[in-house]
Structure 1
Amino acid sequence: MEAQKVNYFSEINELLCNIKNDPNLAGQVTEQSNFIEDFGIDSLDIVDFMLELESQFDIEVDFDTFDFDNLTSAKRLVEYIRSHSATEA
């Protein structure tokens, strides 16, 4: 199970690098990473990031009900992804 989390963090980190167009962010995502404060993603980045997460992890994000507190730690985001993933259910 822990190996899967590492995989999630790695994939999330790769998406973040692409969204921010900054390869220097590689390997920077930890369980405690706050995407807004630590990486400066703004509202447009958030939309792009969430759309990429949907595609990457085959989930559907309802933007009307999405709790943006899920972006306050990578651990919370992974938990959100896992709870909305058909393969994890």
Structure 2
Amino acid sequence: MIDRETVKNVAKLARLGLSEEEIDIFGSQLSVILENIAILREADVSGVSPTSHASRLTNVMRDDVPQPSYPPELLLANAPDQEDNYLKVPAVLDGGES
């Protein structure tokens, strides 16, 4: 089973606030998911081409047409930092400001 600290770290990275009870629940669920992934990794896929798909559909994309969007306030509601309806991130170049 995944330990509580790992669950807390994953939750922090995903910006999720979890209660103590949720940490236990998600710990067991993540453990089951990882066990299933380990089983899938054992499957012999040597005869399957890397671009195989379960569906034979070739173009399932819609036309790229402008659609109504969500209001910026809603989209940025969980952003750690924002300014003028933009997501604000730390500077990555020397001498720059965020």
Shorter-chain TM-score tier: under 0.3
Q: TM-score, with normalisation over the residues of structure 1?
A: 0.28
More strand by share: 2
When Rg is computed on C-alpha atoms for both structures, the one with the higher figure is 2
* Larger helix percent: 1
